[in-house]
């Protein structure tokens, strides 16, 4: 196929334009989705979702497609524009929330903050405020986060494993009593029969998730998807090879973490360091 330039006169949304260009390139080449998948080494459903705008795929997929179609960086440039589309996070997060409601189990690792499912209102308020929320928006976001806790309550709830980096527990709230309440809440949730809480000590050393917050969702059919997130962006990952790579890193972190019993002891020690309102003044 001779090289051609990416089409720029279609949809105004970068994400939509990227999806349209992918489909146009494939149709022009005469390939079916399955034939393309055979040549590229990825599951054909990933390319279908990319053409439908459900996902933009990862950089390695975009680069491989750019080279496959002889685009000389044109397709990769469109992918980068789609990655920066302000609507992407919201669209992916909505899909993540839908999948979360259907999940059979959740496995989570946190680098910096406690997951929203285990946050008290006080902790959620502090985290969301630090992210720039205020006023009515802040109240709505805290309320929305609180409503998600229902996922872990009642009968038939999914199993939830969370591994907290030690840094999470070494970053207290400004209000000692709110921080105490959050630690006590963690201990209470750790007693839940469907929740497993572990702590990864800093002495465990470097690992494959040292800069990544990730949540794995195992869906009823056995498929797993992953959601990675930082303070500015979240990405839903459904392509099996990418999910498997993250899962291997997660399993290694789990093996390095303290046991649930040891983790509970560690949190209790952290709780003992938090000053109480009724503590006698120092002399």
Q: Are both 50 and 179 inside the same structural domain?
A: no
Tokens of 198: 């572990």
Question: pLDDT tens digit string along 216-239?
Answer: 999 988 889 999 986 666 788 988
| Total tally of structural domains belonging to the chain | 2
Query: For residue range 14-37, what is the model confidence (pLDDT) as tens digits?
Result: 888 889 999 999 999 999 999 998
Q: Residue 135: CB partners within 8 Å, gap ≥ 6?
A: none
Q: Are residues 124 and 263 in the same domain?
A: yes
User: 35 and 111: one domain?
Assistant: no
Predicted pLDDT at 142: 83
Domain region containing 174: 103-273
Q: Tell me: do 155 and 241 sit in the same domain.
A: yes
DSSP states of the chain = ----PPP-SS-SSHHHHHHHHHHHHHHHHT--HHHHHHHHTS-HHHHHHHHTTS----HHHHHHHHHHTT-TTHHHHHHHHHHT-TTHHHHHHHHHHHHHHH-SEEEEEESSS--GGG--HHHHHHHHHHTT--HHHHHHHHHHHHHHGGGGSSTTPPEEEEEEEHHHHTS--SSHHHHHHHHHHHHHHHTSTTEEEEEE-GGG---TTTT-EEEEEE-TTS-EEEEEE-SS-EEEE--HHHHHHHHHHHHHHHHHSPPHHHHHHHHHHHHHTSPPTTPPPP-
Q: What is the CATH number of the domain that holds 70?
A: 1.10.260.40
Using DSSP bridges, classify how beta strands 224-229 and 234-237 pair: parallel, antiparallel or unpaired. antiparallel
Last residue of a domain, one of 84, 117, 139: 84
Q: Is residue 283 part of a domain?
A: no
Answer whether residue 256 is part of any domain: yes
93-130 tens-digit pLDDT: 667 777 887 888 999 999 989 999 999 999 999 998 98
Is the residue at 180 inside a domain?
A: yes
Shared domain check, 36 and 129: no
Domain assignment of residue 64, yes or no: yes
Specify if 196 maps to a domain.
yes
Query: What distance, in Å, lies between the first and last C-alpha atoms of the chain?
Result: 82
pTM of the shown model: 0.67
Measured from the Cβ of residue 173, the count of other Cβ atoms closer than 10 Å reads: 19
With vertex at residue 123, the alpha carbon angle to CA 143 and CA 233, rounded to the nearest 5 degrees, is: 75
- Indicate whether 65 and 185 sit together in one domain: no
Cβ atoms within 10 Å of 82's Cβ, excluding its own: 24
**Residues 195, 259 within the same domain:** yes
Give residue-wise pLDDT tens across range 243-281.
999 999 999 999 999 999 999 999 999 999 998 865 454
Q: Are residues 128 and 246 in the same domain?
A: yes
CATH number of the CATH domain containing 182 = 3.30.870
Asked whether residue 80 falls in the same domain as residue 107, the answer is no
13 touches 85 (CB < 8 A): yes
* Residues 55, 113 share a domain: no
């Amino acid at each position: 196929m001779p090289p051609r330039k990416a089409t720029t006169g279609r949809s105004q949304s970068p994400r939509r334009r990227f999806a349209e260009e992918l489909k146009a390139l494939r149709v022009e080449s005469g390939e079916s989705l399955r034939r393309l998948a055979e040549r590229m080494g990825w599951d054909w459903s990933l390319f279908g979702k990319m053409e439908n705008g459900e996902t933009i795929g990862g950089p390695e997929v975009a680069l491989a497609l750019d080279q496959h179609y002889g685009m000389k960086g044109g397709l990769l440039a469109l992918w980068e524009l789609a990655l920066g589309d302000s609507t992407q996070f919201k669209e992916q997060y909505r899909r993540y929330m839908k999948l979360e409601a259907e999940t059979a189990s959740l496995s989570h690792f946190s680098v910096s903050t406690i997951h929203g499912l285990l946050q008290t209102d006080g902790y959620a308020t502090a985290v969301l405020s630090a992210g720039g929320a205020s006023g009515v928006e802040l109240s709505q976001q805290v309320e929305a986060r609180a409503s998600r806790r229902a996922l872990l309550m009642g009968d038939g709830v999914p199993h939830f494993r969370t591994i907290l980096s030690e840094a999470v527990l070494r970053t207290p709230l400004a209000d000692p009593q709110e921080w105490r309440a959050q630690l006590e809440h963690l201990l209470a949730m750790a007693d839940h029969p469907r929740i497993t809480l572990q702590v990864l000590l800093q002495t465990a050393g470097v690992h494959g998730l040292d800069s990544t917050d990730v949540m794995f969702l195992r869906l009823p059919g056995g498929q797993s998807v992953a959601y990675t997130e930082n303070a500015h962006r979240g990405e839903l990952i459904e392509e099996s090879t990418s999910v498997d790579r993250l899962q291997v890193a997660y399993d290694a972190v789990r093996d390095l973490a303290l046991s649930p019993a040891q983790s509970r002891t560690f949190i209790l020690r952290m709780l003992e360091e938090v000053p109480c309102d009724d503590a006698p003044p120092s002399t």
